[in-house]
């Protein structure tokens, strides 16, 4: 079975074609600057594998339809194509950021589902419109292949009210849907499944703290395989200090800035999302640059790194208390997978809670799932390579099988 996974933004489109029989990626690509005077498509065959081939084309893509059509041309090209024609694609899996309380599981896209995704645009104005465009484009180009929506938020729909409610007047939840939704759910679900497989135990019996640390970061508390709390909130702005996002702050700061600088709410929002976090502290959101600054004893680089470590440690400690016992601590995503010194500093001081890091194993590079804790560590510590696109493909496959009654 071949499944195409699409992540459509307002002016971009990422795609990845999977052979589900082997769970391998046949090809992948990204189209950028859709709707501008000149766009770009980069297509890869056997991405991230030995023998990867890369192709690039610069041309105008007026809409997502032309962008996806050109991607299909590469996928089915007589010389470099990985399939003979688009009819081999059994289904299209779509990443959708915000599913609100309407969508608690991946689902077949119908007109009613599209209306539901559209109704949630106020909660995700930068994401859901692009996802709808991607869905409608795929439906026009692949009329034979069902589209399946997979939501970033649905993994966290198992949170209890005491975790997802805010201390605001209750009508704001009832009338305006103000609550914690959480994000990165596809990644958190994938890595906890992989860690459970490594332990050779049923996920439903295990508690994990999952740390998705990248440009955007979140931590999830997972009890018996289900999310019971997560650091991001109604939007991805809350929680940890991130690359350009501030994370948790006193909300009164917003009114204070507006009153004392003359900035509008929109201008403050841009600063909180685009110019804060690590970038706001030391001028860069690239952790590699921050580590170099730290090595040179640059005080702002040191401060940014220490603040990042501190914010991760706070959430791990809180979620350890909530879960009452942990079967594994997981690091994933760009920073979580590739920054040994951050993992070491985060784990330092948690020895009394059963987290005993193997510092040599922590420095090694290896498999998609690897253990970096000592053999005598009561709590295993994992590095798991996340694969959100594969998780979307797996979810899409499950919906297809359910639809066919298998």
Catalytic residues, by residue number, are 152
Q: Which residues are within 8 A (CB) of 104 and not within 5 positions of it... i.e. 6 or more apart? A: 154, 157
Residue for token digits 């890595």? 191
Bridge-partner residues for 70, per DSSP? none
| Cβ-Cβ contacts under 8 Å for 240 (sequence gap 6 or more) | 213, 217, 218, 219, 231, 247, 248, 308, 311, 312, 315
Cβ atoms of 381 and 355 within 8 Å: the answer is yes
Q: What is the DSSP code (8-state) at residue 228? A: E
- CB-CB contact of 61 with 82 (8 Å): no
What does R_g of the chain's alpha carbons equal in angstroms? Answer: 22
Task: Judge contact between 134 and 6, C-beta under 8 A.
Answer: yes
DSSP for 347-398 reads: HTT-GGGT--B-HHHHH----SEEE-B-TT-SS-EEEE---HHHHHHHHHHH
DSSP state of 51: T
Structure-token match 């003359």, residue found:
262
β-sheet with 328-332: strand ranges across: 226-230, 217-223, 208-213, 328-332, 381-384, 369-371
Q: How many helices (H) and strands (E) does the chain have?
A: 15, 14
Residues contacting 177, CB < 8 A, separation 6+: 100, 101, 123
Residue pair 336/326 in contact by the 8 Å Cβ criterion = no
Q: How many CB atoms lie within 10 A of CB 9?
A: 20
Q: How far apart are CA 116 and CA 139, in angstroms?
A: 17
Q: Output the CA angle 368-325-210, nearest 5 degrees.
A: 30
């Amino acid at each position: 079975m071949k499944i195409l996974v699409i992540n459509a933004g307002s002016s971009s489109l990422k795609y990845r074609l999977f052979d589900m029989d082997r769970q391998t990626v046949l090809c992948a690509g990204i189209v950028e600057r859709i709707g501008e005077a000149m766009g770009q498509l980069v297509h890869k065959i056997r991405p991230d594998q030995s023998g990867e081939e890369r192709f690039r084309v610069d041309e105008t893509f007026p809409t997502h339809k032309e962008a996806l059509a050109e991607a299909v041309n590469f996928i089915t090209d007589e010389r470099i194509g990985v399939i003979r024609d688009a009819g081999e694609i059994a289904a299209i899996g779509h990443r959708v950021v915000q599913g609100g309380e309407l969508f608690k599981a991946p689902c077949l896209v119908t007109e009613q589902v599209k209306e539901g995704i559209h109704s949630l645009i106020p909660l995700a104005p930068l994401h859901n419109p692009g996802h709808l465009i991607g869905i409608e484009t795929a439906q026009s180009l692949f009329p034979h292949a069902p589209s399946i929506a997979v939501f970033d938020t649905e993994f966290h729909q198992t949170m209890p009210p005491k975790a997802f409610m805010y201390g605001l007047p209750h009508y704001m939840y009832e009338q305006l849907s103000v609550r914690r939704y959480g994000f990165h759910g596809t990644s958190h679900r994938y890595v906890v499944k992989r860690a459970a497989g490594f332990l050779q135990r049923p996920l439903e019996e295990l508690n994990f703290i999952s740390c998705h640390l990248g440009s955007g970061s979140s931590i999830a508390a997972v009890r018996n395989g289900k999310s019971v709390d997560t650091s991001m909130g109604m939007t991805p702005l809350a929680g940890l200090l991130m690359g350009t996002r501030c994370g948790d702050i006193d909300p009164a700061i917003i009114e204070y800035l507006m009153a004392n600088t003359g900035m509008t709410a929109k201008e403050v929002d841009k600063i909180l999302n685009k110019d804060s976090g690590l970038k706001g502290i030391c001028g860069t959101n690239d952790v590699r640059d921050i580590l170099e600054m730290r090595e040179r004893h640059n005080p702002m680089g040191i401060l940014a790194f220490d603040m990042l470590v501190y914010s991760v440690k706070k959430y791990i400690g809180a979620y350890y208390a909530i879960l009452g016992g942990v079967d594994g601590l997981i690091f994933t995503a760009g920073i979580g997978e590739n920054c040994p010194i951050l993992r070491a500093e985060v784990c330092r001081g948690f020895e009394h809670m059963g987290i005993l890091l193997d510092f040599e194993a922590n420095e090694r590079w290896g498999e998609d799932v690897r253990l970096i804790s000592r053999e005598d560590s009561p709590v295993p510590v994992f590095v798991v390579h996340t694969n959100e696109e594969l998780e979307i493909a797996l979810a899409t496959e499950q919906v297809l099988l359910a639809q066919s009654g298998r």
